[in-house]
Structures are given as C-alpha cells and as structure tokens.
Amino acid sequence: MQMDELVALCKRRGFLFQSSEIYGGLNGFWDYGPLGVLLKRNVKDAWWHDMVTSHNEMVRDAGAPGTYDMTGLDCTIIMHPQVWKCSGHYDLFHDYMVDCRESKKRYRYDHVKGRWVTGKKHGTDGEPAVEMKVFITTMETEGTQEALQAEAAHFFGLRKKDLESLVWEGPVMAISELDSLENVVGPDAKHPGTLTEPREFNLMFKTTIGALGGEDDVAFLRPETAQGIFVNFKNVCDSTRVKVPVGIAQIGKSFRNEITPRNFTFRSREFEQMEIEFFCHPSESADWYRYWRDRRFNWYTSLGLASDKLRLREHEKAELAHYSVGTADIEYAFPFLPEGDYGELEGVAHRGDFDLRSHMEGKLVREGDQLVLEKGPDGQPKHRGSGKDLTYFDDQRKERFVPHVIEPSSGADRATLAFLCEAYTIDQVPTAEKKEDASRTYMKFHPRLAPIKAAVFPLVKKDGMPEMATEIYSELKKSFAVQYDEKGAVGRRYRRQDEIGTPFCITVDGQSVEDGTVTLRDRDTLEQVRVKRDELLTELKQRLHLS
Ligand code: GAP
C-alpha cells in the first residue's frame, strides 16, 4: 500500500487534516475530521470498555495470576513542576539534536541517516575536479539509497548518467554512530562540516502559570499521562474500595516537543495516550507483567490488526533498568517504514517501585544495582519528593509495601493510524457487483471501530421508498452512527460507503414497500440478504458485535 494514497483518502473523506492548514499548517499537529473523530473515539471507547468498564473483578481473566480491581482517572495536563523533577522528565527527557550552520535547520541526531561516498567534486567555475570522501545524508526513511544518490549527485555536481563513478562504502547508518561530524554533508547543506555537535533538547513544552509569568511560575505540559496516576495512587486507594492488585487507567492528551515529527500522526507533538498503571505485590509482579504483555498484544489482534504485521519485541536484558524484569514493545509494520521495520504502538513496562518511591522520597537514580536518592553538589537531595507515605497496607497479607507497577502504555493516535493502515484494502477481484470495473478501494475496519456502522438508501426517490428509508434511518440512529444517502446510482453510493469503511448498507426497494423486507449488503463479502424490517436492528447489532 502506498502511504500517500491513504493520506489522500484521509483528507478527502474527512479522517485527518493538517492542523491550521489554511495558514500553511503546523508541523507535528493534526486535526481529526468528522469521520476521524468517530474512528478515534471508537478506538478509545473499545480500550476503555475492554480494559476498564467490562472488567469483572470477581472473575479471573484467562491467563491472569489472580483477580484484580480496575478503575479510572482523568487528571490535569499541567501538574506541579515537582512531579516532573521526581519522575526524571525534567533532567532526563531529552533528545540529542544537531543544528546545521548552513541551512539553519535542526535535526534529531539519530534520525539523520547516510553513507560514505567517494567521488570527484566538480567546481562551478571550471576549477579542476577534486576527489573527496564525504558522508552524504538524508532524512528520507523510504527509498533511502535513491535519496542519497540524488543528494550525492547534487553535492558532486554530477548528472544522473555519471552517478556510477561514485564509490559507496559501508551500510546506511545514523550520524549518531559516527566518530566525528567533520565530513558530514547535512541533509539540506551544500558543504561538509556544517552540523554542530549534538546538544540535549528537553522535549517538554514549557508554559507559565498566572499573569506574572516569571521563572518561578514555569510549568510544563505533561509528556505522559502516567504521572497523574502515580501521584493519585493514595487518593484512589483512600476514596474507593479497590485493593492491590489494581489497575488505574487514564486516556488523555500528552505533549512532546519532538524535534522531527513525521510519518503522518505517528510522531506528533500533541497526541493522546491510553495508559494503565497496574499496582501489585512485588513477588507477583513478574507474573502480572507477562499477563499484561500478552493481553495487550491480543487486544490489537481482536480488533483486526493482522498478527503477521504485529510483533511483540522483548527488550534485551541489557536494555532493561535494573529494577525491571521486563519491557516489551508491541510493534506494527507501518507501511511508511522500510521493509522489515516495525514502529512502536505500545510499550508494556515493568517499572518496579521506582515511580511511587520517587514521589515519596525524591528523584531516584541507579547506583550499581541500587536505586538511591539523587544528590546535588551540596550533598542534599537534588529534587525533593512529596514526603507523603505512598506505601500500601495489605490487610490479607498483613504487610506494608511499596507496590510494583506494570505499565501498558499505548498511543491512541498510533493505534488509530495502525487501524487505518490495516483497513486500507484494494480489492481487484471482479464480482457481479463490480463487473468490469473490478477494482474497489475500501476500508476494512473492524465493525466496533468503523466510524459509521450502517448506511440507508432508498433505491429510487419515489414510490414511498424515501419515506420508509428515512424512518429506518431514524430508528437505527438511536443505537449507532448511521448515514442516509439518496444521491446518485446505488452502486456509487455503495462505493462511497466502502471508502469510509461502513460495514453494512441497507437498501429500501420496491419489494420493501410491499412486504416490509430490505436488502442488507455486507461491505467485505458484497453478499446481500433480505431482512425483515422489524428484525433489522437485532440483526445489525449482532453483526456489529454490539449485542
Ligand atoms: N508512560 C510511558 C510512556 O509514555 P512512551 O513509550 O514514551 O511511554 C507510550 O509512550 C506510547 O505513547 C507510545 O508507544 C506511542 O504509542 C505513544 N507516543 C509516544 N510519543 C508519541 C508521539 N510523539 N506521537 C504519537 N504517539 C506517541
């Protein structure tokens, strides 16, 4: 699938628009259109329903080490600045970036990719050609070698037919893997050596609280929803009857000043997360980690992500924080990535007691195999914690402990993007409905996610058909999102619905007016059956997995 075709469909049919488009857009920000908002809401609703509201704390889920409680929160985007000091985001949440002195552009250090190449550089004023070895770079992720060829042709002043004279060496790699940037030609530069040494760039968006706006009033937009859950752990335990093990869920906006936002909504500066912090006894945390890792993977496949495009990647032991028994990424083979590459949809992390302890004591750091309080140059704690007791007393075990945390953390926008990519289908097989116009583009959304669940058409605009069709439309609309369409040939109306992924179309024809039956057409199989009007809602609910 070509990504640009999906991007075009998303704009044409109202799934996604670039933010502030009439002013030229704003890089890293996206608006969901009338259909996009329904799709993303369905993704979030499915997550909340499956993880929170339908969870039964009295019944043990398949594969779960025991029963557990599940509840939710909705916290503020701006929190006390101390939260980010104790969570580590204030000191550690940064990317390395390089600036180009020539083009004045800024790039993420590990995103600039290139290859060594030797060739003869031709001067502009008939100067003799000089042999040079440089590291040519690009920001392109697709067709990287072709992009590098084009950059090299530009740099050496060669025509396409002379490109064979270039000698390429080594694999494509990021400039962050090089020992020096001296001979690097930046992605938008004409000369080598114009990139600065990498510098740290904190990803949190800064703002100020109140009218004075001084340094003491600085605050940050949250870069993750997780911290709102940690700092409310005690409130939740004290105000409800939940008991550890308990999961606390939150869906909400997060903000990261990404240096190179890209790949449609995949890396945005404003996005939504769906996070669970699952608090449990330390001795059971490894079992709960495995449970959540598998449960979350299965959630994506249950909503139609093909398992051959989805993978669970366990982090290597060396990548893990010492307190962690495991972290796994759930990854999807997004079509904008090079063949064989996967992009992260969700991380499932065993975080030990790091977060609750940091919010009690102050920011913790690793020292050997211990977590210790980070001290400033004066030997005092660098960032103070709340000093509040965030331990938990288990009255069955008769034991007080700091719960360990398993964190399944997913992105609502990335999940929505994966469902969009997966749904995009071009069906080439001729059928009675398509006849010679064999190709059909349709969005094969899982019925739970489809923005519009059904469309109602009168076959023609006369003989009582529009009246009956509008009545059916009004009835169905009370239960789910339905569209009514009476414009154009019925085949064209089917195609319009296919393109937005509507699973079922209902047509009212001459027979309907006589015997009260309608045709029900299935988006995927194109099969049409006659259904009695008074059985239609039940039939649809069942087919849509809503009953
Ligand atoms: N609390 C842990 C945490 O935030 P993360 O891996 O940084 O972990 C979790 O983020 C998820 O949030 C990612 O797997 C991804 O789905 C989503 N996400 C992170 N950064 C994003 C961005 N810039 N744009 C869109 N989604 C993003």
Are 216 and 162 found together in one domain?
Answer: no
Which residue type does 465 have?
M
Domain boundary, last residue among 201, 235, 269: 201
Supply the CATH number for residue 300's domain: 3.30.930.10
Helix, strand, coil fractions of the chain, as percent rounded to 5 = 30, 30, 40
Q: What is the mean pLDDT of residues 49-71?
A: 96
Across-strand partners of 530? 519
Q: What is the mean pLDDT of residues 180-185?
A: 96
Number of domains into which the chain is organized:
3
Query: Strand locations in 67-144, DSSP E?
Result: 69-72, 94-99, 106-108, 113-121, 130-138
Distance 172 CA to ligand 1 centre (A): 26
Q: Map residue 218 onto helix, strand or coil.
A: strand
Domain boundary, last residue among 154, 178, 201: 201
Are 301 and 408 found together in one domain?
Answer: yes
* Cα separation, 229 vs 461, whole angstroms: 55
Per-residue model confidence as pLDDT tens digits over 130-139: 899 999 999 9
Residue of 87, 330, 409, 410 to test ligand 1 pocket, by largest number of atoms within 8 Å of CB = 409
Q: Would you mind telling me the total number of residues written for the chain in this entry?
A: 547
Instruction: Provide the domain limits for residue 535.
Output: 440-543
Q: Name the pLDDT band for 547 (thresholds 50, 70, 90).
A: low
CB 338 within 8 A of CB 359: no
Residue 239: both structure tokens together: 């105000």
Contacts 24+ apart (CB under 8 A), 62-67: 63/291, 63/294, 63/295, 64/291, 65/284, 65/287, 65/288, 65/291, 66/245, 66/284
Closest-CA residue, ligand 1 atom 21, reads: 267
Q: Which atom of ligand 1 is nearest to the CA of 409?
A: 9
Q: Which residues line ligand 1 (CB under 6 A)?
A: 224, 226, 256, 258, 267-268, 271, 273, 275, 344-347, 407, 409-411, 413-414
Q: What is the mean pLDDT of residues 326-350?
A: 94
Closest-CA residue, ligand 1 atom 15, reads: 411
Predicted confidence at residue 318, as pLDDT, reads 78
Closest-CA residue, ligand 1 atom 22, reads: 267
Are 298 and 412 found together in one domain?
Answer: yes
Are 279 and 415 found together in one domain?
Answer: yes
Closest CA to 103 of 190, 177, 173: 190
Are 139 and 247 found together in one domain?
Answer: no
CA distances, 322 to each of 265, 329, 352, 363 (Å): 33, 18, 9, 16
Domain boundary, last residue among 168, 185, 201: 201
Are 43 and 89 found together in one domain?
Answer: yes
CB 507 within 8 A of CB 490: yes
Across-strand partners of 368? none
Buried-exposed string 381-396: b where 16+ CB fall within 10 A, e elsewhere: ebbebbeeebebeeee
The answer as to whether 285 is a domain residue is yes
The answer as to whether 357 is a domain residue is no
The answer as to whether 521 is a domain residue is yes
Residue 459: both structure tokens together: 């076959």
Distance 45 CA to ligand 1 centre (A): 19
Distance 227 CA to ligand 1 centre (A): 14
Are 220 and 86 found together in one domain?
Answer: yes
Supply the CATH number for residue 448's domain: 3.40.50.800
Are 89 and 133 found together in one domain?
Answer: no
* Cα separation, 299 vs 285, whole angstroms: 21
Predicted confidence at residue 252, as pLDDT, reads 98
The answer as to whether 323 is a domain residue is no
Distance 163 CA to ligand 1 centre (A): 41
Per-residue model confidence as pLDDT tens digits over 210-267: 988 888 899 999 999 999 999 999 999 999 999 999 999 999 999 999 988 889 999 9
Q: Which atom of ligand 1 is nearest to the CA of 414?
A: 16
With residue 343 as reference, give the H or E element that holds it: strand 343-352
Residue of 205, 271, 274, 334 to test ligand 1 pocket, by largest number of atoms within 8 Å of CB = 271
CA distances, 249 to each of 11, 227, 277, 356 (Å): 32, 12, 7, 16
Are 461 and 487 found together in one domain?
Answer: yes
Q: Name the pLDDT band for 546 (thresholds 50, 70, 90).
A: confident
Q: Which atom of ligand 1 is nearest to the CA of 347?
A: 14
Distance 223 CA to ligand 1 centre (A): 9
Closest-CA residue, ligand 1 atom 18, reads: 411
Instruction: Please give the span between the terminal C-alpha atoms of the chain, in angstroms, as a whole number.
Output: 34
Of these ranges, 315-319, 381-385, 452-456, the one predicted with the greatest mean pLDDT is 452-456
Distance 344 CA to ligand 1 centre (A): 8
Q: Name the pLDDT band for 507 (thresholds 50, 70, 90).
A: very high
CB 504 within 8 A of CB 520: yes
226 — phi, psi (to 5°)? -55, -40
* Cα separation, 299 vs 328, whole angstroms: 15
Place of tokens 């706006």: 213
CB 533 within 8 A of CB 516: yes
Q: Which atom of ligand 1 is nearest to the CA of 349?
A: 2
Q: What is the mean pLDDT of residues 493-519?
A: 97
What is the percent of the chain with per-residue pLDDT over 90, rounded to a whole number?
Answer: 79
Q: What is the mean pLDDT of residues 142-151?
A: 87
Q: What is the mean pLDDT of residues 50-55?
A: 97
Which residue type does 5 have?
E
Predicted confidence at residue 366, as pLDDT, reads 78
Which residue type does 199 have?
R
* Cα separation, 420 vs 7, whole angstroms: 10
Are 236 and 111 found together in one domain?
Answer: no
Per-residue model confidence as pLDDT tens digits over 398-450: 999 999 999 999 999 999 999 999 999 998 777 777 766 678 899 999 999 99
Distance 260 CA to ligand 1 centre (A): 15
Closest-CA residue, ligand 1 atom 20, reads: 267
Distance 346 CA to ligand 1 centre (A): 7
Residue of 224, 265, 278, 345 to test ligand 1 pocket, by largest number of atoms within 8 Å of CB = 224
Summary mean pLDDT of the chain: 93
Predicted confidence at residue 505, as pLDDT, reads 98
Q: What is the mean pLDDT of residues 191-207?
A: 93
Residue 482: both structure tokens together: 């339905």
The answer as to whether 539 is a domain residue is yes
The answer as to whether 327 is a domain residue is no
CA distances, 309 to each of 171, 188, 337 (Å): 26, 34, 12
The answer as to whether 491 is a domain residue is yes
Closest-CA residue, ligand 1 atom 4, reads: 224
Distance 400 CA to ligand 1 centre (A): 33
* Cα separation, 459 vs 438, whole angstroms: 22
Are 280 and 412 found together in one domain?
Answer: yes
Higher-confidence position of 96 and 398: 398
Distance 356 CA to ligand 1 centre (A): 21
Q: What is the 3-state secondary structure (H, E, C) of 466-479?
A: HHHHHHHHHHHHCC
Q: Which atom of ligand 1 is nearest to the CA of 411?
A: 16
In the predicted structure, residue 58 carries a pLDDT above the cut 70 = yes
Are 88 and 99 found together in one domain?
Answer: no
The answer as to whether 374 is a domain residue is no
CA distances, 335 to each of 7, 302, 338, 443, 524 (Å): 12, 21, 8, 15, 22
